[in-house]
Structures are given as structure tokens and as C-alpha cells.
Amino acid sequence: MPVATGYPVTIENCGRTLTFDKAPERVVSLWQPPTEMLLALGVQDRIVALAGTYTEIRPDLAPGAEGIKVLGTSMQWPSKEALLSEKPDLVISEGLEGFGYDAAQGYATVAEIEATGANVISTGGSCTPSDPASQTKTTQQVYDDLLMLGQVFGVSARAEALVNELQSREAAVLARLQGVEPVKVAFYNGGEGPVYVLTTGIWADLMRKAGGTNVVTATGYQVTNEEFAASQPDVILMGTYPGQEAATSLAFLKKTFPNVPAVQNDRLVPIATIDTEASVRVVDGLEQIAQALHPEAFAAASTAGGYPLTIENCGRTLTFEQPPERVITTWQALPELLVTLGLGDRIIGTQWNNQFEPPPDIAEEFGSLPVLSKEYASKEAIFTANPDLILSAGLTWDFDPNNGSPSLAEVEAAGIKVFGLGDNCTADSRVTIDDMYADILTIGRIFGVESRASMLIADMKARVTAVQERVSSRAPIKAFFDAGGEGPVGTAGKGLQHDMITLAGGENVFGDRPNYYESVSLEEIAVRQPEIFVVDTWEDRTYINTRTEWLFETFPNTPAGRDKRFVEIPGIYIYYASVRFADGVETMARAFHPEAFQ
């Protein structure tokens, strides 16, 4: 949900000054690129209707668009009556003339929408069809638009994290291309004479940054067949979208331009046009174009994960010749992570995966994953499954023959790779949040989906930053992390849970202890006078009641005991490499400082 602070917000957009007294609550988006920006910023609950969705929503964003009303068809916008009946407080599109605002087509004009009290925003740097800015826009336009929308919706931290992630990926491409000779390139986008070409604005910027020289000059978006042939590109990018398929374009180009170097050398590269628009996909497009123009620069390790890939893990060196295809996971957080990264089809077996209800957005796929065992899978079950990788939550216990499991040595002798999470490489491992992010990124690299992992991390960081914006000015509340036991009691010293308590606006009363897991006496707890108990719970839903009753009775003279104050934190929120880490920080923060979230 957007943060409801910092208003009114005033922005400049297409020469107009727009003021928002609160985050928009009824948004109509008339074009797919700004729609996907809003989805990436996590404000889909504010969108009441969509139009101009001309291809599939990016898969990782598509769940957010489910259930949102669609107006018109992909390239036919809603009538004035249909649009205004949605009672929008914000309409967003690319441009302020023509397209969805053409009165001659029966659409509402910008003036008519604004007359209802709604604001109208244009993204993409194209305020009017003749706007010269549209001819010179770059990837920076996308970053500026995201930051602007972050302000408007009160999610600036999330927008900044997303922009940082996109800029990092762009910088990585540019670093790989230092010193390369530019390749002559043309961007064909349909037609059989004249042909449509993409030559200016964001497309010119992408081709230049990808190490290309755009050889087609056009007034508008069309050139004759003769002009296209005369440009003699070494590479032709073929824009694709529903109704303009790569096979059709390929056949036309080969038949019509047999003497063009790109055709002769079979360097005709399909690319989804949406990946090259001024949207959150723009760096996807940059990466694809760069690899098409300069494959040699990406041969060793592409931005999507190059192979062979060698990593260090828990004191061992692992080399992957290709992305793993048959994976066993040993604890629930790991299959949740893989499904979130779009890798659920790689999982051939799980264990310890039923202690918590899965997140709603992945519940259906998670529920269909094959189960080797509800607890520890046997040696026979593991070897029969024939995995090429085991993702282990703990090298210190996942391979204990006393549990019927194979030893780590037996698994590795069978040629099965094992990646262990950093918090349990050894019995006394101590890790930080940055270590956890690094493990998630490494898992992304192993599977060739580093960009997806980066986006997940960026979203987690943004959510944590949003929490900190709310609580950082408030006095920390003294928190005792309760990990069970009746004397001694388990608690958190330095480590991940300590860091989460701090981020949530708390003070871990045993934060001075050096170990990730500490055992402390009842007397020590009482002396530290916690103001709230942070209760770590697992699958037993009755435990929270009996545990809090025990805490209140045992520590009646502490502020937490007197006020009967606690927060329940499911274990999967607060343990390593969980996609629900930010949920844990948010849950703690709301309990520590409820007034900050009113």
C-alpha cells in the first residue's frame, strides 16, 4: 500500500503543474508502459481500469493485473462515457493528444477529464505527437517517470530501489561494451513498402548504448524499401507483437532484401517491441540488443547468467555448466524463492515444505510441487529422484545420516551439486541482511535469472526503506526475541533477527551478545526489561496462546509482561533467504510503532 504521508505533492508534467493532496485511489491507465510501471511500483490496488494493453503483461507483473477491469481493446480506447463512468482521480498515458484523448473518435479529451477534478499524467516524455522531446528521450526518461510516480503514490523508496536496480543493469551492459566497434543496425517494425522503422527517441538511445550505429534516417516512422536497402545494416532488429510475428517479418526481409549484409549473414534478431519502449522493460531491451550486436562481449557471462559459472559456497567451489534443471529443496523458504523467481518447474522434490501457508500469489503453483518427504527425505528417495542440485537450508543438519539422509560427501560423490545458505554453513555461522541478499542474488545467477533476483531484492529493500521512513524518528522499543524454552530460553544475538528488529524500530535487548542464537536465563530476561515479546512461531497454531501466557506469567514485572504486549512472527518471515523477509520487518514495525501506521 502507498505510504499516506508527505502530501500535498506537486509535480511538473508536460508544462503543467499538478498537485496531489493524497495518493490516487482510482487510476485509469490508457497505455501498457505506464501500466507496467504502476504494477512494478506495487500500486495495482489503486488501478480501477486498463486500456492500451497491446501484448502480454510481463510475467512477473501479470498477477498484479489480474481482476482489473479492461476498457476497450488493445488499440481502441474507451469512449468518453466509459472512461468518466469509472470516476478516476488520475488518468495516465503516454502523450496528451490523439490516441485515447481524440474527441473525433468519441474519447474524452484531457480538458474534459481535468474538468471532473481528475489529474492527467503523461509518461514517456511524449507530451504531444510533435513534441521534439520525444525525438531525443533516453532511458533516463524511464527513471524520471518512475521517480515521479513514486512521489505521486507515496512509494518513493520503492521507486528509488527500482531505478537503482535498472541503472545498475544498464551500467553493467555499458561496461561490457567498452571499446567495441559500433555495429550498423536498423530497427524494422513492420510493413512491406514503405516499411516502418524505429529510429529516434528511446530506440536511438538503446541502439547507441548497445554498441550500434543506427543507419536508417527517417522523417516519421517510415522509409521506402529502396531507402531501407541502401542503409546496408549488419544487423536488423525485428520488432514483434501480437499480429506481427517474427516468422512473417523474417520471410519478408529475406525475400525483399537479399543483398543486405544482415540478411546474408543471418543476423535478423526478433525483439518484443514492448521491451524497447519507455517502460520498466527498457533495460530488458537494452540487454537483448547489446547481446545481438556484440555477442562476443557476452560470451563469458551474460547479464542473464553466463556459463560455465563458478561460485564459492560454504568453503567449497561449485561450477555450473548450465542452469540446474532438477532441483531438490530442503526447507519451505527455498521453493517459495524459486517459484517467485519463475523457477518452479525446476523443482523435482521438496522436504519440510508444509510448516506455513504459502504466500497467496504463489499458493497454487506451490501446492503442486512434488513432495519427497514432509520431514527429512531418505537417502533412497533423494538418489532415486536424480537431482542435479540440492538447495540446502543448512549444511549442518540436512545431511545427517542419523535422520536417514545421505551425508554431504555421499551426495557430492554422486555428482550432485549442493548449494548451502550462508547462515548455516557451520554451526556458528553469523550473517547479515546483506549476506542474505547476496545468497538470493547468487541463486539467481546459478539459474540464469540474475535480473529477476535483483528485482526481488530491490523490492524487498524498498519495502524495508518504506518502514524505516515511518519509524526512524521514533524512540526504539526494547524487544525480546523469543525462540522457545522455559529456562534457559532461546533468543537472538547478533545476526539476521537482530538486524530485522533494528530495521523495524526496535532495540534487541540481547543485541550485545555475539552469537546468532543465544541461550539466556529467566533472570537475564527480567533484568533487561523488554517492552514487547517477539514470539517466533511455527506450524502449531495453538503455540502462540500457550507461549504468550507463559511469557506474561513468567515476566510480570517487565513492561511487556504488564502490558501483555507481543507480536507473533511466523518463522518463515525471519529466517534466511525468505521472500517474506520484508513481511517480517513490516509486521514487527507495526507492532513496535502502531501509531506510525495509522
> CATH number of the domain that 113 lies in?
3.40.50.1980
Same-domain status, 192 and 152: no
The average pLDDT across 274-287 equals 93
Same-domain status, 256 and 362: no
Distance separating alpha carbons of residues 403 and 382, to the nearest angstrom: 13
Query: Which pLDDT belongs to residue 299?
Result: 61
Query: Which pLDDT belongs to residue 549?
Result: 95
The average pLDDT across 425-430 equals 65
Q: Let me know: does 258 contact 264? Beta carbons within 8 Å.
A: yes
Among residues 276, 207, 271, the alpha carbon closest in space to that of 245 is found at: 271
Query: Which pLDDT belongs to residue 589?
Result: 96
Query: Which pLDDT belongs to residue 28?
Result: 97
Query: Which pLDDT belongs to residue 44?
Result: 94
The average pLDDT across 363-372 equals 94
Among residues 157, 221, 222, the alpha carbon closest in space to that of 194 is found at: 222
Between vectors from CA 247 to CA 245 and to CA 248, what angle results, nearest 5°? 70
In a domain, 492, yes or no: yes
In a domain, 429, yes or no: yes
In a domain, 454, yes or no: no
Query: Which pLDDT belongs to residue 59?
Result: 81
Place 303 in a pLDDT band, splitting at 50, 70 and 90.
Answer: very low
Query: Which pLDDT belongs to residue 178?
Result: 80
In a domain, 304, yes or no: no
In a domain, 170, yes or no: no
- Domain final position from 277, 298, 319: 298
Same-domain status, 475 and 570: yes
What does each C-alpha distance from 354 to 197, 350, 597 come to in angstroms?
Answer: 53, 10, 32
Distance separating alpha carbons of residues 420 and 396, to the nearest angstrom: 9
**Mean per-residue pLDDT over the chain, rounded:** 89
Among residues 29, 8, 5, 28, the alpha carbon closest in space to that of 20 is found at: 8
Query: Which pLDDT belongs to residue 74?
Result: 62
- Please say if the pLDDT value at position 240 is more than 50: yes
Query: Which pLDDT belongs to residue 452?
Result: 81
Pairing of strands 222-223, 195-196: antiparallel
The average pLDDT across 99-112 equals 92
- Please say if the pLDDT value at position 298 is more than 90: no
Higher pLDDT, 518 or 465: 518
The average pLDDT across 13-39 equals 95
- pTM for the model stands at 0.56
Provide the edge-to-edge strand list for the sheet that holds 235-240: 212-214, 183-188, 235-240, 268-272
- Please say if the pLDDT value at position 5 is more than 80: no
Query: Which pLDDT belongs to residue 130?
Result: 65
The average pLDDT across 320-336 equals 95
In a domain, 366, yes or no: yes
Maximum mean pLDDT: which of 3-12, 15-24, 417-426: 15-24
**DSSP label at residue 488:** S
The average pLDDT across 383-410 equals 93
Query: Which pLDDT belongs to residue 186?
Result: 96
In a domain, 344, yes or no: yes
Same-domain status, 145 and 40: yes
* 486 C-beta neighbours (distance < 10 Å), count: 9
Query: Which pLDDT belongs to residue 439?
Result: 87
- Domain final position from 390, 422, 448: 448
Q: Enumerate residues 6+ apart whose C-beta is below 8 A from 253.
A: 188, 236, 238, 260, 262, 263, 268
Query: Which pLDDT belongs to residue 129?
Result: 66
Q: Which helix (H) or strand (E) holds 244?
A: none
What does each C-alpha distance from 314 to 112, 153, 279, 526 come to in angstroms?
Answer: 63, 42, 39, 38
- Please say if the pLDDT value at position 43 is more than 50: yes
The average pLDDT across 100-118 equals 94
| Structural domain boundaries, residue 185 | 180-298
Query: Which pLDDT belongs to residue 301?
Result: 42
Distance separating alpha carbons of residues 457 and 459, to the nearest angstrom: 5
Same-domain status, 46 and 95: yes
The average pLDDT across 209-220 equals 89
Q: Let me know: does 233 contact 186? Beta carbons within 8 Å.
A: yes
Same-domain status, 22 and 154: yes
Distance separating alpha carbons of residues 206 and 191, to the nearest angstrom: 22
494: left (phi over 0), alpha (psi -120 to 50) or beta: beta
Pairing of strands 532-537, 477-482: parallel
The average pLDDT across 330-345 equals 94
Same-domain status, 160 and 13: yes
- Please say if the pLDDT value at position 73 is more than 70: no
Among residues 371, 416, 374, 421, the alpha carbon closest in space to that of 396 is found at: 421
What does each C-alpha distance from 19 to 43, 121, 142, 447 come to in angstroms?
Answer: 19, 11, 21, 45
Same-domain status, 19 and 136: yes
Q: Let me know: does 8 contact 71? Beta carbons within 8 Å.
A: no
Query: Which pLDDT belongs to residue 302?
Result: 40
Same-domain status, 416 and 512: no
Place 136 in a pLDDT band, splitting at 50, 70 and 90.
Answer: confident
Place 435 in a pLDDT band, splitting at 50, 70 and 90.
Answer: confident
Query: Which pLDDT belongs to residue 2?
Result: 37
The average pLDDT across 515-523 equals 91
In a domain, 570, yes or no: yes
Among residues 151, 282, 146, 142, the alpha carbon closest in space to that of 207 is found at: 282
- Domain final position from 232, 267, 298: 298
- Please say if the pLDDT value at position 3 is more than 50: no
- Please say if the pLDDT value at position 220 is more than 80: no
Q: How many separate domains does the chain show? A: 4
Same-domain status, 190 and 151: no
Same-domain status, 61 and 92: yes
Task: Classify residue 117 by burial, with Cβ atoms within 10 Å: 0-12, 13-18, 19+.
Answer: exposed
Query: Which pLDDT belongs to residue 307?
Result: 79
Same-domain status, 469 and 578: yes
Distance separating alpha carbons of residues 56 and 274, to the nearest angstrom: 9
